[in-house]
Homo-oligomer: A and B are copies of this chain.
Amino acid sequence: MSRDERRLTSFDVAAKAGVSQSTVSRALSGSPTITEATRTRVIEAARELGYVVDERAARLRSGKSKTIAVVVIGRAGQGAASVNPFYYSLLGSVCTAAAQRGYQALVSIQSEPEHFFGQFIERGQADAVVVLGTATNREAWRYFDDYRETQARMAFWGSPFDGPGYVRSDNKAGARLAVERLVQGGYKRIGFIGETDGAQRQFRERYEGYCETLEAAGLPCFDAVTASGETREAQGAGAVKALLAQKTGYDAVFSACDAMALGALTALREADKSVPGDFGVIGFDGLGVGAHSSPPLTTIEPDFAEAGLNLVEAALGGADEDRDRRVSVHLVERASAR
Protein backbone atom coordinates (compact mmCIF):
# COMPACT_ATOMS: atom_id res chain seq x y z
CA MET A 1 0.00 0.00 0.00
CA SER A 2 2.60 2.54 1.09
CA ARG A 3 5.64 3.31 -1.01
CA ASP A 4 8.78 2.74 0.99
CA GLU A 5 11.72 5.03 0.51
CA ARG A 6 14.31 2.35 1.10
CA ARG A 7 14.40 -0.85 -0.88
CA LEU A 8 13.64 -3.94 1.15
CA THR A 9 16.43 -6.49 1.29
CA SER A 10 16.76 -10.04 2.45
CA PHE A 11 18.22 -8.61 5.69
CA ASP A 12 14.87 -7.05 6.54
CA VAL A 13 13.18 -10.38 6.07
CA ALA A 14 15.90 -12.09 8.11
CA ALA A 15 15.37 -9.68 10.99
CA LYS A 16 11.65 -10.18 10.91
CA ALA A 17 11.86 -13.95 10.72
CA GLY A 18 14.65 -14.16 13.25
CA VAL A 19 17.06 -15.99 10.97
CA SER A 20 20.20 -15.09 9.05
CA GLN A 21 20.21 -13.49 5.64
CA SER A 22 21.60 -16.64 4.04
CA THR A 23 18.73 -18.63 5.45
CA VAL A 24 16.30 -16.21 3.89
CA SER A 25 18.00 -16.66 0.55
CA ARG A 26 17.91 -20.42 0.82
CA ALA A 27 14.33 -20.54 2.01
CA LEU A 28 13.10 -18.32 -0.78
CA SER A 29 15.07 -20.00 -3.53
CA GLY A 30 13.69 -23.38 -2.59
CA SER A 31 16.89 -24.92 -1.31
CA PRO A 32 16.11 -28.43 -0.02
CA THR A 33 18.45 -27.98 2.94
CA ILE A 34 15.94 -25.81 4.80
CA THR A 35 13.41 -27.05 7.39
CA GLU A 36 9.83 -26.67 6.30
CA ALA A 37 9.12 -24.76 9.51
CA THR A 38 11.89 -22.26 8.81
CA ARG A 39 10.87 -21.90 5.21
CA THR A 40 7.29 -21.18 6.16
CA ARG A 41 8.39 -18.60 8.67
CA VAL A 42 10.60 -16.85 6.14
CA ILE A 43 8.01 -16.91 3.39
CA GLU A 44 5.46 -15.45 5.76
CA ALA A 45 7.83 -12.68 6.84
CA ALA A 46 8.58 -11.87 3.20
CA ARG A 47 4.92 -11.79 2.35
CA GLU A 48 4.13 -9.47 5.24
CA LEU A 49 6.85 -7.07 4.27
CA GLY A 50 6.08 -7.33 0.59
CA TYR A 51 9.61 -8.43 -0.16
CA VAL A 52 10.68 -9.98 -3.46
CA VAL A 53 14.28 -10.78 -4.35
CA ASP A 54 16.23 -8.36 -6.44
CA GLU A 55 16.86 -10.34 -9.58
CA ARG A 56 19.76 -8.19 -10.64
CA ALA A 57 21.71 -9.26 -7.58
CA ALA A 58 20.52 -12.85 -7.64
CA ARG A 59 21.49 -13.27 -11.26
CA LEU A 60 24.77 -11.47 -10.96
CA ARG A 61 25.80 -13.73 -8.14
CA SER A 62 24.49 -16.96 -9.61
CA GLY A 63 25.79 -16.22 -13.07
CA LYS A 64 22.48 -17.11 -14.67
CA SER A 65 19.78 -14.91 -16.04
CA LYS A 66 16.79 -17.18 -16.56
CA THR A 67 15.89 -15.11 -19.58
CA ILE A 68 15.66 -15.76 -23.28
CA ALA A 69 16.28 -12.87 -25.63
CA VAL A 70 13.87 -12.91 -28.56
CA VAL A 71 14.87 -10.86 -31.59
CA VAL A 72 12.10 -10.15 -34.08
CA ILE A 73 13.36 -9.12 -37.48
CA GLY A 74 11.26 -6.63 -39.43
CA ARG A 75 11.65 -5.13 -42.85
CA ALA A 76 14.37 -2.50 -43.11
CA GLY A 77 12.96 1.01 -42.91
CA GLN A 78 9.62 -0.11 -41.56
CA GLY A 79 9.93 -1.27 -38.00
CA ALA A 80 7.21 -2.87 -35.90
CA ALA A 81 4.49 -2.11 -38.43
CA SER A 82 6.19 -4.44 -40.91
CA VAL A 83 6.12 -7.48 -38.65
CA ASN A 84 3.40 -9.75 -39.93
CA PRO A 85 0.88 -11.56 -37.74
CA PHE A 86 2.56 -14.88 -38.32
CA TYR A 87 5.72 -13.76 -36.57
CA TYR A 88 3.81 -12.08 -33.81
CA SER A 89 2.04 -15.35 -33.13
CA LEU A 90 5.35 -17.11 -33.12
CA LEU A 91 6.73 -14.48 -30.75
CA GLY A 92 3.80 -15.09 -28.42
CA SER A 93 4.41 -18.83 -28.54
CA VAL A 94 8.07 -18.37 -27.74
CA CYS A 95 7.26 -16.14 -24.75
CA THR A 96 4.78 -18.72 -23.49
CA ALA A 97 7.14 -21.63 -24.04
CA ALA A 98 9.90 -19.76 -22.24
CA ALA A 99 7.60 -19.08 -19.29
CA GLN A 100 6.70 -22.76 -19.13
CA ARG A 101 10.36 -23.58 -18.77
CA GLY A 102 10.87 -20.92 -16.12
CA TYR A 103 12.41 -18.30 -18.35
CA GLN A 104 11.47 -14.72 -19.03
CA ALA A 105 11.53 -13.13 -22.48
CA LEU A 106 13.43 -10.02 -23.42
CA VAL A 107 12.01 -8.88 -26.75
CA SER A 108 13.72 -6.68 -29.27
CA ILE A 109 12.41 -5.74 -32.69
CA GLN A 110 15.22 -5.10 -35.11
CA SER A 111 14.95 -3.76 -38.63
CA GLU A 112 17.81 -1.36 -39.23
CA PRO A 113 21.43 -2.44 -39.73
CA GLU A 114 22.69 0.26 -37.38
CA HIS A 115 20.70 -1.28 -34.57
CA PHE A 116 21.40 -4.95 -35.11
CA PHE A 117 22.45 -6.35 -31.77
CA GLY A 118 22.74 -9.86 -30.51
CA GLN A 119 25.07 -9.85 -27.51
CA PHE A 120 22.48 -10.48 -24.86
CA ILE A 121 24.32 -13.43 -23.44
CA GLU A 122 27.58 -11.50 -23.14
CA ARG A 123 25.76 -8.72 -21.33
CA GLY A 124 24.50 -11.25 -18.84
CA GLN A 125 20.95 -10.52 -19.90
CA ALA A 126 19.98 -13.84 -21.40
CA ASP A 127 20.97 -17.47 -21.35
CA ALA A 128 20.01 -18.00 -24.96
CA VAL A 129 18.68 -16.06 -27.92
CA VAL A 130 15.93 -16.81 -30.40
CA VAL A 131 15.84 -14.93 -33.67
CA LEU A 132 12.76 -14.95 -35.86
CA GLY A 133 11.20 -12.86 -38.60
CA THR A 134 11.04 -12.18 -42.28
CA ALA A 135 13.61 -13.84 -44.53
CA THR A 136 13.53 -10.74 -46.72
CA ASN A 137 15.77 -8.72 -44.42
CA ARG A 138 18.96 -10.32 -45.74
CA GLU A 139 21.28 -7.98 -43.89
CA ALA A 140 19.73 -8.82 -40.56
CA TRP A 141 20.03 -12.54 -41.15
CA ARG A 142 23.57 -12.15 -42.33
CA TYR A 143 24.35 -10.31 -39.12
CA PHE A 144 22.89 -13.04 -36.94
CA ASP A 145 24.35 -15.82 -39.03
CA ASP A 146 27.78 -14.27 -38.46
CA TYR A 147 27.04 -13.66 -34.84
CA ARG A 148 26.21 -17.28 -34.14
CA GLU A 149 29.83 -18.14 -34.73
CA THR A 150 30.44 -16.67 -31.29
CA GLN A 151 27.47 -18.18 -29.50
CA ALA A 152 26.05 -21.67 -29.43
CA ARG A 153 22.85 -21.02 -27.55
CA MET A 154 20.75 -19.67 -30.37
CA ALA A 155 17.75 -20.74 -32.39
CA PHE A 156 16.20 -19.32 -35.54
CA TRP A 157 12.97 -19.29 -37.51
CA GLY A 158 12.56 -17.69 -40.89
CA SER A 159 16.20 -17.40 -41.87
CA PRO A 160 17.23 -17.90 -45.46
CA PHE A 161 20.31 -19.61 -44.04
CA ASP A 162 20.68 -23.03 -42.58
CA GLY A 163 22.50 -24.88 -39.84
CA PRO A 164 22.17 -26.00 -36.25
CA GLY A 165 19.50 -24.18 -34.32
CA TYR A 166 17.33 -23.53 -37.34
CA VAL A 167 13.78 -24.62 -36.62
CA ARG A 168 11.12 -24.84 -39.31
CA SER A 169 7.84 -26.38 -40.33
CA ASP A 170 7.73 -29.88 -41.65
CA ASN A 171 7.42 -28.42 -45.12
CA LYS A 172 7.28 -31.64 -47.06
CA ALA A 173 4.55 -33.03 -44.87
CA GLY A 174 2.67 -29.76 -45.29
CA ALA A 175 3.02 -29.85 -49.04
CA ARG A 176 1.81 -33.41 -49.03
CA LEU A 177 -1.28 -32.53 -46.99
CA ALA A 178 -2.08 -29.65 -49.31
CA VAL A 179 -1.54 -31.47 -52.56
CA GLU A 180 -3.34 -34.60 -51.42
CA ARG A 181 -6.27 -32.44 -50.42
CA LEU A 182 -6.31 -30.87 -53.87
CA VAL A 183 -6.08 -34.26 -55.57
CA GLN A 184 -8.88 -35.51 -53.38
CA GLY A 185 -10.94 -32.50 -54.48
CA GLY A 186 -10.63 -33.77 -58.04
CA TYR A 187 -8.24 -31.14 -59.36
CA LYS A 188 -5.99 -32.52 -62.09
CA ARG A 189 -3.51 -29.89 -63.15
CA ILE A 190 -2.11 -28.42 -59.99
CA GLY A 191 0.45 -25.63 -60.17
CA PHE A 192 2.88 -24.25 -57.61
CA ILE A 193 3.54 -20.57 -56.98
CA GLY A 194 6.52 -19.24 -55.07
CA GLU A 195 10.24 -18.91 -55.75
CA THR A 196 12.37 -22.01 -55.32
CA ASP A 197 15.81 -20.47 -55.59
CA GLY A 198 18.17 -20.11 -52.64
CA ALA A 199 16.36 -17.22 -50.98
CA GLN A 200 13.63 -19.21 -49.30
CA ARG A 201 14.72 -22.66 -48.33
CA GLN A 202 11.28 -23.32 -46.95
CA PHE A 203 9.70 -22.68 -50.31
CA ARG A 204 12.04 -25.10 -52.01
CA GLU A 205 11.08 -27.81 -49.58
CA ARG A 206 7.42 -27.13 -50.20
CA TYR A 207 8.02 -27.33 -53.91
CA GLU A 208 9.78 -30.66 -53.53
CA GLY A 209 6.94 -32.02 -51.44
CA TYR A 210 4.54 -30.78 -54.09
CA CYS A 211 6.33 -32.65 -56.86
CA GLU A 212 6.76 -35.84 -54.90
CA THR A 213 3.12 -35.99 -53.90
CA LEU A 214 1.91 -35.33 -57.39
CA GLU A 215 4.17 -37.96 -58.85
CA ALA A 216 3.01 -40.46 -56.28
CA ALA A 217 -0.54 -39.67 -57.35
CA GLY A 218 0.33 -40.15 -61.00
CA LEU A 219 -0.39 -36.52 -61.77
CA PRO A 220 1.92 -34.06 -63.50
CA CYS A 221 3.93 -31.54 -61.51
CA PHE A 222 4.99 -28.27 -63.06
CA ASP A 223 7.75 -25.71 -62.73
CA ALA A 224 7.17 -23.22 -59.97
CA VAL A 225 5.67 -19.98 -61.20
CA THR A 226 6.70 -16.61 -59.79
CA ALA A 227 6.18 -12.95 -60.53
CA SER A 228 7.89 -9.89 -59.19
CA GLY A 229 6.02 -7.44 -57.02
CA GLU A 230 6.33 -5.14 -54.04
CA THR A 231 4.36 -7.33 -51.68
CA ARG A 232 3.82 -11.04 -51.39
CA GLU A 233 0.23 -10.53 -52.42
CA ALA A 234 1.18 -8.73 -55.59
CA GLN A 235 3.62 -11.53 -56.33
CA GLY A 236 0.91 -14.13 -55.82
CA ALA A 237 -1.53 -12.27 -58.03
CA GLY A 238 1.12 -11.89 -60.73
CA ALA A 239 2.09 -15.53 -60.54
CA VAL A 240 -1.49 -16.67 -61.01
CA LYS A 241 -1.91 -14.39 -64.00
CA ALA A 242 1.25 -15.79 -65.53
CA LEU A 243 0.09 -19.31 -64.83
CA LEU A 244 -3.34 -18.70 -66.34
CA ALA A 245 -1.66 -17.22 -69.43
CA GLN A 246 0.30 -20.45 -69.90
CA LYS A 247 -2.87 -22.24 -70.96
CA THR A 248 -1.62 -25.48 -69.48
CA GLY A 249 -5.11 -25.89 -68.24
CA TYR A 250 -4.28 -25.45 -64.57
CA ASP A 251 -7.23 -25.97 -62.27
CA ALA A 252 -5.54 -25.45 -58.91
CA VAL A 253 -2.48 -24.04 -57.16
CA PHE A 254 -0.58 -24.80 -54.04
CA SER A 255 0.91 -21.51 -52.89
CA ALA A 256 4.19 -21.42 -50.97
CA CYS A 257 2.66 -18.98 -48.50
CA ASP A 258 -0.70 -17.57 -47.52
CA ALA A 259 0.14 -13.98 -48.38
CA MET A 260 0.72 -15.02 -51.99
CA ALA A 261 -2.37 -17.23 -51.92
CA LEU A 262 -4.44 -14.23 -50.91
CA GLY A 263 -3.11 -12.35 -53.93
CA ALA A 264 -3.88 -15.40 -56.04
CA LEU A 265 -7.50 -15.31 -54.88
CA THR A 266 -7.79 -11.70 -55.98
CA ALA A 267 -6.31 -12.46 -59.40
CA LEU A 268 -8.63 -15.43 -59.85
CA ARG A 269 -11.65 -13.32 -59.03
CA GLU A 270 -10.54 -10.76 -61.61
CA ALA A 271 -10.07 -13.56 -64.13
CA ASP A 272 -13.62 -14.74 -63.41
CA LYS A 273 -12.51 -18.10 -62.12
CA SER A 274 -14.75 -19.32 -59.37
CA VAL A 275 -12.97 -20.71 -56.33
CA PRO A 276 -13.23 -23.53 -55.36
CA GLY A 277 -15.53 -24.55 -58.22
CA ASP A 278 -13.34 -23.86 -61.25
CA PHE A 279 -10.11 -23.56 -59.43
CA GLY A 280 -8.66 -24.73 -56.11
CA VAL A 281 -6.21 -22.84 -53.92
CA ILE A 282 -4.36 -23.94 -50.81
CA GLY A 283 -1.82 -21.81 -49.00
CA PHE A 284 0.74 -22.31 -46.27
CA ASP A 285 1.14 -20.52 -42.91
CA GLY A 286 -2.29 -20.53 -41.31
CA LEU A 287 -2.60 -16.76 -41.34
CA GLY A 288 -5.67 -15.59 -39.48
CA VAL A 289 -6.57 -13.21 -42.28
CA GLY A 290 -7.21 -16.20 -44.51
CA ALA A 291 -10.38 -16.87 -42.55
CA HIS A 292 -11.84 -13.65 -43.92
CA SER A 293 -10.85 -13.78 -47.55
CA SER A 294 -13.41 -14.71 -50.15
CA PRO A 295 -13.54 -17.55 -50.23
CA PRO A 296 -11.86 -18.29 -46.91
CA LEU A 297 -8.45 -19.76 -47.60
CA THR A 298 -7.71 -23.42 -46.97
CA THR A 299 -4.19 -23.60 -45.65
CA ILE A 300 -1.44 -25.53 -43.89
CA GLU A 301 -0.69 -24.28 -40.40
CA PRO A 302 2.27 -25.12 -38.20
CA ASP A 303 1.59 -25.93 -34.59
CA PHE A 304 2.56 -22.65 -32.94
CA ALA A 305 2.87 -23.98 -29.41
CA GLU A 306 5.17 -26.72 -30.65
CA ALA A 307 7.16 -24.17 -32.64
CA GLY A 308 7.66 -22.02 -29.56
CA LEU A 309 8.74 -24.98 -27.48
CA ASN A 310 11.14 -26.15 -30.17
CA LEU A 311 12.73 -22.75 -30.49
CA VAL A 312 13.21 -22.42 -26.77
CA GLU A 313 14.63 -25.90 -26.43
CA ALA A 314 16.91 -25.53 -29.43
CA ALA A 315 18.23 -22.22 -28.08
CA LEU A 316 18.76 -23.51 -24.57
CA GLY A 317 20.27 -26.75 -25.83
CA GLY A 318 22.90 -24.94 -27.83
CA ALA A 319 24.52 -25.97 -31.06
CA ASP A 320 25.55 -29.30 -29.56
CA GLU A 321 22.07 -30.44 -30.13
CA ASP A 322 22.50 -30.67 -33.82
CA ARG A 323 19.29 -32.29 -34.93
CA ASP A 324 16.87 -31.16 -37.58
CA ARG A 325 13.93 -29.69 -35.72
CA ARG A 326 10.68 -29.94 -37.60
CA VAL A 327 7.41 -28.56 -36.36
CA SER A 328 4.30 -30.51 -37.24
CA VAL A 329 1.69 -29.01 -39.49
CA HIS A 330 -1.98 -29.59 -40.10
CA LEU A 331 -4.54 -28.78 -42.72
CA VAL A 332 -6.92 -25.93 -41.90
CA GLU A 333 -10.02 -26.73 -43.90
CA ARG A 334 -11.71 -23.55 -45.09
CA ALA A 335 -13.33 -22.99 -48.47
CA SER A 336 -10.84 -22.52 -51.27
CA ALA A 337 -10.68 -26.18 -52.25
CA ARG A 338 -13.78 -28.17 -53.17
When distances are taken between beta carbons in the complex, the residues of chain B under 8 Å from A332 are none
Q: How many copies does the complex hold?
A: 2
Tell me the A95-144 residues at the B interface (CB within 8 Å): 95-96, 99, 104-109, 115, 119, 122-125
Asked if A83 is at the interface (CB within 8 A of a chain B CB), the reply is yes
Proximity string of chain A (36-63) to chain B, C-beta cutoff 8 Å, 1 when within and 0 when not: 0000000000000010111111011000
A311 to chain B, nearest CB (A): 13
Asked if A331 is at the interface (CB within 8 A of a chain B CB), the reply is no
Most buried by B among A80, A88, A115, A291: A80
When distances are taken between beta carbons in the complex, the residues of chain B under 8 Å from A289 are 288-289, 291-292
Q: With A and B bound together, what is the CA distance between A149 and B3 in angstroms? A: 9
Q: Which residue of B lies closest to A121 (CB)?
A: B52
Most buried by B among A3, A89, A119, A125: A125
Taking A108-B105, A150-B1, A152-B3 as contacts, is the C-beta distance between A80 and B95 under 8 angstroms? yes
Q: With A and B bound together, what is the CA distance between A80 and B97 in angstroms? A: 10
Q: With A and B bound together, what is the CA distance between A308 and B83 in angstroms? A: 15
A329 to chain B, nearest CB (A): 16
When distances are taken between beta carbons in the complex, the residues of chain B under 8 Å from A304 are 80-81
Asked if A79 is at the interface (CB within 8 A of a chain B CB), the reply is yes
Q: With A and B bound together, what is the CA distance between A124 and B57 in angstroms? A: 9
Most buried by B among A56, A88, A291: A56
Count the A residues whose beta carbon is within 8 Å of the partner chain — how many?
54
Taking A56-B65, A289-B292 as contacts, is the C-beta distance between A150 and B3 under 8 angstroms? yes
Among B88, B108, B293, B308, contact of A292 (Cβ-Cβ < 8 Å): B293
- Establish whether residues A122 and B294, one from each chain, have CB atoms under 8 Å apart when the complex forms: no
When distances are taken between beta carbons in the complex, the residues of chain B under 8 Å from A67 are 106
When distances are taken between beta carbons in the complex, the residues of chain B under 8 Å from A105 are 106-108
Proximity string of chain A (54-97) to chain B, C-beta cutoff 8 Å, 1 when within and 0 when not: 11110110000101001010000001110101001101110110
A54-B123, A95-B107, A105-B108 known; 15 other A-B pairs, CB under 8 Å?
A: A1-B149, A3-B152, A50-B150, A53-B123, A56-B59, A56-B65, A57-B124, A81-B93, A85-B85, A85-B88, A92-B109, A95-B109, A99-B115, A288-B289, A290-B292
Question: Which 5 A-B pairs have CB atoms at the shortest separation, nearest pair first?
Answer: A80-B92, A88-B88, A294-B294, A56-B60, A54-B124
